[in-house]
Structures are given as C-alpha cells and as structure tokens.
C-alpha cells in the first residue's frame, strides 16, 4: 500500500531540514579550510626564519648528532565525524607507522578515541580546535608535552597528518631535530647577544613549536576539506533522494485522487 501524501510531505520537509544542516556544515568547513590555508603561509614564513637561525647556530656550535631511539609520534587526526573516510585513513596510517617503544601523542578527539579502542597506549591527547585561530595555543601546549615526554622516549619526534589535497593522504614528517641538510651550514659564528647555549635552546624550542603549529594547521585544513567533500556528496545524495520522494508524492496524490473519484462516483449510484 502506498504512503499517504501527507506522510510523504513530512519526509520532504525532513529532507529539506537535513539539507539546511548539511549546507551549513559545508559552508563552515569551507571557511575553516580557507582560514587554515592562509594561516599556514604565515607559519611557514616564521618556521623558515627560525630554521635559518637555528641552522647557523648549530653549524657554529657543534656537528649534527642523530638521536638514537624510537622517539615520539604526534598524530594530528580528526576532531569530529562527517568527513568521509578520513578518520579511518589516519587511524590505519598511525597504526602502521607506530614502532615498538615509540611514544604516542594524539591531537583530535575522534582519532584519539579510535586509537584507544584499537588498544594503543596514548600518552597524551587533546582535541583539534574547531577554528584555526585557536591552534597556536594548542601547539604551545603540545610542544611542552613533547619536550617533557622526549626525556622518556628518546629519539626523533615525528608527526603524522593528512594533506589538504591529493585525496587527503596521510604523510609522516620529522619535527625534531631538524634535518642536517636544512638551512645554511656556514661555519662563521653568528653575532649573538645571548649565551650560545641559551640561544640554541630557545631556537630549538621555537623550531619545534613552529613545526607543531604547521602540522596542526595542515591537519585542520585537511579535515575541513574532507568535510567539504563529504557534505558535497551528501547534498548530491539529498537531491537524488528528494527527486525520488517528490515522484512518490505525485504518484500517491494521483492514487488518492483516483480513489476519491471512485468513491464519489459510487456514492451517487
């Protein structure tokens, strides 16, 4: 038996309400993605300046020594859902990247929950802010955690995060120490107004902070763009579903009218 036209009209109204929500989520995600992309340019410029100064200081102070040990892995994942298969992709990459003895730090509540559910031990986690403007403060807290935990998990500090383009593929990069080939390698001592040890310590911390902020902003942009794409697919599916429900409404209305005409014709005999 076909549904009553009134019931189908209720479904149409529900689909329109869902469409409004999906459209709002897509618009918000698009705005966040654009803000994060703009912020990454400023962070990259700051990181470049710090890296250049750090390379000069290290070259003048001591030769590069590669740290031993598995170190730490910072996973910048998803904060929420509604972004397609991106959270699952980050989770699988994190599990395949994590090495025995490596400490795990996670940013992104959804990814942290997924990794905990998979039985992995997370040293520390926090959620990825909804707006990129709040990321620098989180990057500062995360940097402090990484510095503290590095004493218990010696070795390099790496980060796993998604890329905004190219299917949002996850990539692993080294946060600390800087690559020995980065920056300049001049042996000319720089002009300093601070003790060399204090300057080097400060630059190392600033370099780590800049890299952490950059991968977090990159992760925020990736999640936002993944949500934009997921909401675009949802809108297409909603349009298809609405067309189907509209057709069902027309059919139900015609059947109702036909039934009413038959009943009216029969009552006059």
157-162 vs 72-76, strand pairing mode: parallel
Q: Is pLDDT at 165 greater than 80 in this prediction? A: no
Go through the chain and tell me how many residues it has. 269
pLDDT score for 183:
45
For 135, the token pair is 């990321």
- What are the C-alpha distances in Å from 156 to residues 102, 131, 176, 197, 218? 10, 29, 6, 20, 20
pTM: 0.80
On average, the pLDDT of the chain sits at 84
Residue 170 has pLDDT above 60, yes or no: yes
* Tens of pLDDT, residues 199-216: 667 778 888 999 999 999
Give the separation between CA 65 and CA 180, rounded to whole angstroms: 9
Confidence at residue 1, expressed as pLDDT on a 0 to 100 scale = 45
Please state, in angstroms and rounded to a whole number, the distance separating the CA atoms of residues 198 and 200.
Answer: 5
Q: How far apart are CA 106 and CA 86, in angstroms?
A: 15
What does the DSSP 8-state code read for residue 183?
Answer: S
Question: What is the topology classification, in CATH, of domain 24-228?
Answer: Pyruvate Kinase; Chain: A, domain 1 (3.40.1380)
Give the integer Cα–Cα distance in Å for 220 and 240: 30
* Distances in whole angstroms, Cα of residue 157 to Cα of each of 21, 74, 82, 260: 40, 7, 30, 75
- Determine contact, residues 159/214, Cβ cutoff 8 Å: no
Residue 210 and residue 43 in contact, taking contact as beta carbons nearer than 8 Å: yes
Backbone angles phi, psi at 37, to 5 degrees: -65, -40
> How many CA atoms within 13 Å lie on the side-chain side of 180?
6
Q: Distance between CA atoms of 150 and 126, rounded to whole angstroms? A: 18
> Does the pLDDT value for residue 259 go beyond 90?
no
**pLDDT at residue 219 tops 70:** yes
Q: How far is CA 154 from CA 75, 80, 173, 176, 212, in A?
A: 17, 32, 17, 11, 18
What backbone torsions phi and psi does residue 160 show, to the nearest 5 degrees? -120, 125
Query: Three-class SS of residue 103?
Result: strand
User: In the chain, where are the structural domains located?
Assistant: 24-228
């Amino acid at each position: 038996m076909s549904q009553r036209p009134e019931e189908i009209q209720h479904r149409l109204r529900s689909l329109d309400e869902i469409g409004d929500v999906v459209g709002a989520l897509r618009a918000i995600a698009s705005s966040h993605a654009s803000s994060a992309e703009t912020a990454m340019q400023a962070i990259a410029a700051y990181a470049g300046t710090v890296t250049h100064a750090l390379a000069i200081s290290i070259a003048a102070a001591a030769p590069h020594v590669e740290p031993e040990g598995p170190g730490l892995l910072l996973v910048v994942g998803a904060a929420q859902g509604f972004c397609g298969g991106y959270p699952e992709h980050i989770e699988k990459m994190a599990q395949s990247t994590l090495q025995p003895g490596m400490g795990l730090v996670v940013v992104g509540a959804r990814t942290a929950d997924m990794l905990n559910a998979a039985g992995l031990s997370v040293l520390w986690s926090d959620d990825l802010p909804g707006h990129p403007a709040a990321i620098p403060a989180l990057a500062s807290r995360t940097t402090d955690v990484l510095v503290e935990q590095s004493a218990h998990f010696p070795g390099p500090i790496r980060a796993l995060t998604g890329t905004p383009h190219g299917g949002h593929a996850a990539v692993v990069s080294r946060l600390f120490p800087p690559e020995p080939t980065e920056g300049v390698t001049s042996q000319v001592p720089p002009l300093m107004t601070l003790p060399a040890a204090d300057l080097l310590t400060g630059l190392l911390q600033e370099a780590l902070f800049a890299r952490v902020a950059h991968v977090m902003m990159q992760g925020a942009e990736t999640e936002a763009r993944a949500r934009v794409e997921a909401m675009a697919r949802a809108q297409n599916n909603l349009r298809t579903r609405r067309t189907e429900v509209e057709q069902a409404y027309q059919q139900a209305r015609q059947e109702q009218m036909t039934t009413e005409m038959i009943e009216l014709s029969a009552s006059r005999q």
